[in-house]
Structure 1
Amino acid sequence: MHARAVAASTTALLGTAALLFPASAARAADDGTRPLVVAHRGASAYAPENTLAAVDKAAALGIRWVENDVQRTRDGELVVLHDDNLRRTTDVEEVFPDRAPWKVKDFTAAEIARLDAGSWFGPAYAGARVPTLEQFVHRVELHHQKLLLEIKNPELYPGIERQTLKVLSNEGWLDRRHLANRLVVQSFSADSIRTVHALKPAVKTGFLGTPHVTNLPAYATFADQINPSHRSLSRGYVAAVHTFKGPHGRQLEVFTWTVDDAATAQRVAGYGVDGIITNKPDVVRNAVRR
């Protein structure tokens, strides 16, 4: 990983950094755990990923941050699904056997709503559906949770950034309270995040990846977070990211993914990361509390 070569020089540049999430209403506050713990696709080790059941499970565990993935149907509806293909997490091959290769963009929202998105995980979740983005944010709001929203495969869906922001606005998620402390939009596409920032500068944004430290000043013009895989992470890299301020004048943050065991959680927490994205949020929360 590029940052290892600069670890010695960057570690000295930064002490322990304060987290930058401002206080909000008591019911919307996180539980005080640092680093913040984010339920990846909901509590996806315990319920089918990206479903309302996974949001409910995260809430039941007391987890305040939920991550999801957004894609677009053939008729322009935004749905919450990780893969651009419906095969892995639904029964699309049984319901529509003649529609290979079963891409999300080739199905209407009504067709996707017919699919079982829970049985693959276990019989207790039979009949769970692929939620629309509206349905998903309603459930997150119901639990007074916070949302780390990933725009998935934006190259497949021209204009999805503007559409995502419109849905969030319609659902009340672009007001001052949500923007201050309850919403981050992220993507693996720097162009997509740059577009989100240009369209709505007040939205907090994250880039998924590990840019070389020499490129961090450019990313800091449109991203508030640099969110790498834990496998590419080092103490020096986290320190390097923390030396820069993002577009809102605050120290860049690091949310790392996908950490599911206590030892790795403690290791990356020791690096000074600001958040940990995990399928097992209870395991990670207990580990970092220790």
Structure 2
Amino acid sequence: MHARAVAATTTALLGTAALLLPAPHARAGSDRPTVIAHRGASAYAPENTLAAVDKAAELGIAWVENDVQRTKDGELVVLHDDNLKRTTDVEELFPGRAPWKVKDFTAAEIARLDAGSWFSPAYAGARVPTLEQFMDRMELHHQKLLLEIKNPDLYPGIEQQTLKVLANEGWLDRSHLARRLIVQSFSADSVRTVHKLKPAVKTGFLGTPSVADLPRYAAFADQINPSHGSISMGYVASVHYYTGPHGRPLEVFTWTVNDADAARLAADYGVDGIITNSPDVVRDALPDD
């Protein structure tokens, strides 16, 4: 058994006490965490819109996170909530359709909605993009995608459909798979399904599994992506002890960090990436490589 495996086994056996051990290395990847624009640069433009992608590009942020849901007629759209109420004018356009679930509206109906006015009058008329439209805009900016499959229990087969769209848009070629795409979910079953269907795709599990459970996740996830309030230096080190399905140490992308102090703390913990609504604030808070 090699050194990393021994360390991992020791950590799993010791449980909480092992989390107090110093990390054998600060980070699985580079010295400076990757900065990921959460739902685009969502502190400055309406989340999950093309405007938020554009703003991230304007700020010089390469990685963008988004959320994927499915319409009544089977179109994949980029939206965080499983209903349309919070971020669109759906109540005004379709007053008799409560509770305004995404799955109860066609793609054409959703395309009529204003997804920008709730954020600012300056963004009035912004639309809910399809996944294809979102990726086309990211391709225009040469950006990288952290794609979250939302609520997969509501959308049977969404993993295969998402992979099909990614393939059709050219995002499953060697270049994208190596450097520009990660698929994640809060559902371990969904992440496992993506890995089974397309083992070459880099995957992430959203959550904070116990140290004892990490070997199970390492079989199908390349990343463990917890909320920033749930981690410690010891936990991040424990994740890094394990090797993921592509033969590299598991990574940690933590969310949602929006201020300089929290960003520096996460970096000190040794995380590999920081997901943030304010990517410029986080970037500027981090030390140079």
- Give yes or no for the alignment of 1:76 onto 2:86: no
Between the two proteins, the alignment pairs up a number of residues equal to 275
Residues 116-135 of structure 1: matches in 2 within 5 Å? Answer: 116-135=114-133
Q: Which of 14, 17, 20 is matched with 1:8 structurally?
A: 20
| 1:188 CA displacement | 0.1
**Counterpart for residue 240 of structure 2:** 242
Counterparts of 2:278 and 2:101 in 1: how far apart (Å)? 28
Decide whether the 8 Å contact of 1:254 with 1:275 is kept in 2: yes
TM-score by length of 2: 0.93
| 1:17 CA displacement | 3.5
1:138-172 Cα offsets, whole Å, 9 max, x none, are: 00100000000000000000000000000000000
Q: Give the letter for the 1:267 counterpart.
A: L
- Give yes or no for the alignment of 1:199 onto 2:197: yes
**Counterpart for residue 7 of structure 2:** none
Decide whether the 8 Å contact of 1:4 with 1:236 is kept in 2: no
Residues 140-289 of structure 1: matches in 2 within 5 Å? Answer: 140-289=138-287
Counterparts of 1:219 and 1:5 in 2: how far apart (Å)? 21
Decide whether the 8 Å contact of 2:28 with 2:272 is kept in 1: no
Q: Which of 27, 44, 59 is matched with 1:17 structurally?
A: 27
Counterparts of 1:284 and 1:48 in 2: how far apart (Å)? 19
The list of structure 1 runs, each at least 4 consecutive aligned residues, that deviate by more than 6 angstroms after superposition, is none
Decide whether the 8 Å contact of 1:4 with 1:234 is kept in 2: no
**Counterpart for residue 103 of structure 2:** 105
- Could you say what secondary structure the match of 2:69 adopts? strand
| 1:7 CA displacement | 1.5
What fraction of aligned residue pairs are identical, expressed as a percent? 78
1:32-51 Cα offsets, whole Å, 9 max, x none, are: x8200000000000000000
| 1:18 CA displacement | 4.5
Decide whether the 8 Å contact of 1:4 with 1:237 is kept in 2: no
Counterparts of 2:124 and 2:220 in 1: how far apart (Å)? 41
**Counterpart for residue 24 of structure 1:** none
- Could you say what secondary structure the match of 1:289 adopts? coil
TM-score by length of 1: 0.93
- Could you say what secondary structure the match of 1:198 adopts? helix
Decide whether the 8 Å contact of 2:28 with 2:240 is kept in 1: no
Q: CA-atom RMSD, angstroms?
A: 1.3
Counterparts of 2:118 and 2:255 in 1: how far apart (Å)? 24
Decide whether the 8 Å contact of 1:36 with 1:275 is kept in 2: yes
Q: Give the letter for the 2:62 counterpart.
A: R
| 1:122 CA displacement | 0.4
| 1:6 CA displacement | 2.8
**Counterpart for residue 94 of structure 2:** 96
Q: Which runs of 5+ in 1 are unaligned?
A: 21-32
Counterparts of 1:257 and 1:4 in 2: how far apart (Å)? 22
Counterparts of 2:280 and 2:141 in 1: how far apart (Å)? 17
1:214-268 Cα offsets, whole Å, 9 max, x none, are: 0000100000000000000100000000000000000100000000000000001
Q: Give the letter for the 1:157 counterpart.
A: Y
